[in-house]
Structure 1
Amino acid sequence: MTLVLADSIQPFALGLIGAILVWRLLCMTFQGPDHKEVWTRIEAVGVSGNGIFPWTRAVVGSILSIQKNAHEGYKRICKAKDRPFTLPTMWTGGAVVVLPPSLLPLLNKPDTELSGFRALIETIQLPYMISNRDIYENVIHFDVVRKILTKKEVIGSLAPTTAEELDIAFRECWGVSERWQTMNGWDVCGRIITRAALRTLIGEPLCRDETFLEQSRLYANSLFAGTAIINCLPPLVRPLLGPLLALRAKYYQARCQKVLRPYVEERIRLWNQRQERDNQPNDFLQWMIPKCSSAHSDQLEPNKTAMRLLALNTMFIFAMGYVFAHCIFDLYSSSPSPKAEFLHDLEEECKRVFVKHHGLSTKAAIDSLYRVDSSIRESMRLSDVGVTNLPLDVVSGKISLGNGIQVPPGVRMVFPTQSIHLDPSNYEQPLCFDAFRFSRRFETLEVPNKQLGERELLTSPTPSFLAFGYGRHGCPGRWFVAQTIKQALAYVIMNYDVELAGAPIKRKALLNMMVPPTNAQIRIRRKSQKETGL
């Protein structure tokens, strides 16, 4: 069996290397003098020697070594010299330019000069995952996020419904037993977030449909697993193997769409018939229907509308599930003494705010959870989704990086976000989880102190915290994400005891993506009413 496997892997590996060599030769043959000048003027990290063969080895090796190379380049070049460096990566089949933090203002340049859209499409490999290009090129659903899901009054109006849904979801998914039980942490955290996200996206009753819930979760996981593997292939062979690797995600996509389509059709029918359009459901589907109706005539077609919901739902489920799961893992796996202090003080805050606001179902109550906010921000700092982020493609003209470096169109640039988050000059003991890192200095204040500056909240991007983007590229849905995850974490703290089971979690990078700990086990028990005191 081993010999058969080895015999099958060897030609496949040789084929990949051959494809990369061909790709590199094509790139080197057809790139202009401006591109050649960029690669010669900027120091490369992870390449031992000159020529096509060292670069090919580096590109192949980037699947497992990009994290190490990115950290080395950041320390040796970005920090020491305030200069960019090039990083070989299978993502592009060549290299990306990694920018120092001093160049973060480039993110505010207009999309006509620097655009992150194509890079985002490639990161998720949407052309393989979604057959209809109009779904990901005509981003009506993201326009709705930017225009509606950024309003304070809208965010506040969602708090009662997500609080209600979280209570039901935790009781059903985590249980109410006061005896310890062991569960897959990644799955049970994902189930909670799936319920909360679907309640906001499509409302009742479909958000509680067990078939749709499970298919949505499987779709999100299979989509990101498939894209991670596709990104590890040479660009030259992706058109051949990409469609095959996307089949699993498309299978779950079709099952989700089968359930979702008649629900969308009924919502559209009711919207068309309703003269007085008051008392409508307060969810994303209802916000999107008039937006699609006012666009091109075919945008309100039920299949398209359903696919837009699925595309957005997948982003919410995976991204929010990733953050929530890691927050649980980071908080409950910290050292015994700090963990006891963190949990005690977090529970004190949650109960105090709960009593004062008669629950955690208002924006005012959730905004008062400063320790909870800090804990999630700290987890996002420590447990990045990717090694680098905030990709930018040069679209037109030349972009100056200083030191005489001019980057022409066609070059992709990124920022070393993980290295920035783990930089000792930005954070004391950066490898340690400190739940109150961002709230501690404000604890004793009764009135604002200008000398301490403003609070660094979960939704506040700074040059040293880029988990939600920065500048014009800040995530427009971050207020909803923050509010929902704060409600979920506060619910866990007040109602459950949690322990990590098994070996400590070791995070690994696959190309640019940090692989989620899908096998992590947790032990949980519901606290008694006497223990909660509520």
Structure 2
Amino acid sequence: MPVLYCKANIPFIVPTLESGPTVVLPQQQIKAVYGLPEDVLGVHRVQDETMQLHWVFPDAHLLAERLQFNVIRNQLTQNIPKIIPRVAAEIDFGFSRSWGNDTGWKEVRVWTSTLRIVAGAANGVFCGPPLCRDIVFLDRMKDHAMTIFAGALVLNCFPKSLFPVFGPVLSLVSGFMEKRAMEKSMPVVEKRLVQTARWKSEPACEWAPPDDALQWIIDECYTSKNPDAQLHPKRVSQRLLFVNDVSMLTTAYTAQNFILDIFSTDPSLGYVDILRQECKNALSESNGKWSPEAVKKLRLVDSAIRESMRMNPFGTLTLPREVVHPGGIRVDNWDVCIPNHTRIALPTEAIHYDNSIYSDAHRYDPFRFAHLEDYESSQVKSTVTLDDSFLAFGVPGRWACPGRFFALLELKIFVANMLLDYEIGYLKKRPSPIYLLWARYPPDVRIWIRRRY
């Protein structure tokens, strides 16, 4: 029924447990409605409520100035050419530690190992060594991220009148997880703050600020409206934690789904061999070192990742917004005004599985976005390219995912390293995701792997 409404360009209402009646927009109206200004259709408050940030991070300074998003949108994206060697080194290290170097076959848990590899690679850029290779730190960061997303999902199912009762429980649990993670990160942050202050005050100081997200966060704090408050070690540590929260799980989720998708296809189609050869050629032409040019040549890998993201959206309804204009808004094919404080969402799963948009939409076609006859002419729609039929990274415009360029970099090198270094046993059937309310969670799957050399 939702698909029929969407095809007819008719919005419809879904009663949701976590946010009440939600208006679902058809694909044809995404551009017009989601392009409305923020004082008409808001994004910040609904995102904060979805993650219950005022319970998870109750410090008002963290939400008053969202410095970490500036870091992701600006410094992280601008420095991608510089950080490629670090990402490659940490992914290589992560695979060796999590999957091993034995040439005999063995079983590994996909989600657990993938999450550790991705977390290590991300923190190679976020804060560098020794934390990026500290497995206790990485696991504690993971535990915090899992806690806040699961906790927020559960809390949103309660009536708002009960939030004052159950919200403090989420604060208590997430605060405990935060404290465990910051036992590792706080000494590093405190040392960096001292070094930065000395570097700024002493022209002859020999220490130079590293190019990592922790330093960029500190730099943003110095230029903030209230630098004395923002430069508190705990707040800087919390911003580092928050950057991990919003990036770690989503990237690992995509990496796991790629593995399950590509290794549940028919082996006789030769998809893995084609992708492996592309990775081999790109790395060989770059003298065995990943460079911006080499990563850019992974066009078929890019397509295969995009297709996996199409097949595995984070939920059935995603990208919520809230009507904040006092007079509400009007949309096409809807007789009444959508009132203030109403949630709006997009039927992402229905759009991604629409056969009129994607032929044979329920089939994983890794080269759907890069047909082989177009390969040499580079006619490939990259994963970071957004439109109203591919919503994995949001909608085009200001509120598209700011970290998508970094995420794609991680994923490309992850896939290349995995295919070049490991053989993976094919699955008889593609395991299904776990649905919980609107969200899709990764199944706990084991696969057989062995080192290729």
The TM-score range, normalised by the shorter chain, is over 0.9
Residues 104-148 of structure 1: per-residue CA shift (max 9 Å, x gap): 122222211111111111211222222313323421111221222
Structure 1: 5+ residue stretches without partners: 1-71, 449-453, 529-534
Q: 1 CA distance for matches of 2:288 and 2:307?
A: 25
Q: Quick check: 1:89–1:96 contact (8 Å CA) kept in 2? A: yes
The partner residue of 2:100 within 166, 169, 175 is 175
Q: 1 CA distance for matches of 2:181 and 2:236?
A: 13
Q: Shift of the alpha carbon at 1:77?
A: 1.1
Partner of 2:131: 206
Residues 331-360 of structure 1: per-residue CA shift (max 9 Å, x gap): 11223333xx11010011011111111235
Partner of 1:76: 4
Partner of 2:330: 400
Q: Quick check: 1:149–1:476 contact (8 Å CA) kept in 2? A: no
Matched, 1:499 2:430: no
The partner residue of 2:234 within 303, 309, 318 is 303
Matched, 1:251 2:176: yes
Taking structure 1 as reference, are residues 156 and 85 closer, same or farther at Cα in structure 2, changes over 3 Å only? same
Residues 287-342 of structure 1: per-residue CA shift (max 9 Å, x gap): 1111101210200110000001101111111111111111111111223333xx11
Q: Quick check: 2:280–2:420 contact (8 Å CA) kept in 1? A: yes
Pairing 1:438-449 to 2, within 5 Å after superposition: 438-445=369-376, 447=377
Q: Shift of the alpha carbon at 1:455?
A: 2.8
Runs of 4+ more than 6 Å apart: none
Partner of 1:321: 252
Q: Quick check: 1:360–1:366 contact (8 Å CA) kept in 2? A: no
Aligned residue for 2:288, secondary structure, equals coil
TM-score normalised by the chain length of structure 2: 0.93
Partner of 1:527: 452
Matched, 1:127 2:54: yes
Q: 1 CA distance for matches of 2:100 and 2:67?
A: 38
What one-letter code is carried by the residue in structure 2 that aligns with 1:135? L
Structure 2: 5+ residue stretches without partners: none
Residues 482-524 of structure 1: per-residue CA shift (max 9 Å, x gap): 011100111001001112669741223211111221x211111
Q: 1 CA distance for matches of 2:105 and 2:159?
A: 47
The partner residue of 2:194 within 269, 279, 289 is 269
For the pair shown, which has the larger CA radius of gyration, 1 or 2?
1
The partner residue of 1:366 within 286, 295, 306 is 295
Q: Shift of the alpha carbon at 1:156?
A: 0.7
Matched, 1:110 2:37: yes
Aligned residue for 2:76, secondary structure, equals coil
Q: 2 CA distance for matches of 1:355 and 1:232?
A: 52
Q: % of aligned pairs identical?
A: 32
Residues 4-37 of structure 1: per-residue CA shift (max 9 Å, x gap): xxxxxxxxxxxxxxxxxxxxxxxxxxxxxxxxxx
Partner of 1:15: none
Aligned residue for 2:77, secondary structure, equals coil
Residues 258-278 of structure 1: per-residue CA shift (max 9 Å, x gap): 221111111011111114588
When the two chains are superposed, the root-mean-square deviation of aligned CA atoms in Å is 1.9
Q: Quick check: 1:78–1:84 contact (8 Å CA) kept in 2? A: yes
Across the two proteins, how many residue pairs are aligned to each other?
A: 443
Pairing 1:280-295 to 2, within 5 Å after superposition: 280-295=209-224
Taking structure 1 as reference, are residues 131 and 502 closer, same or farther at Cα in structure 2, changes over 3 Å only? farther
The partner residue of 2:264 within 321, 326, 333 is 333
What one-letter code is carried by the residue in structure 1 that aligns with 2:294? A
TM-score normalised by the chain length of structure 1: 0.79
Q: 2 CA distance for matches of 1:253 and 1:84?
A: 41
Aligned residue for 2:234, secondary structure, equals helix
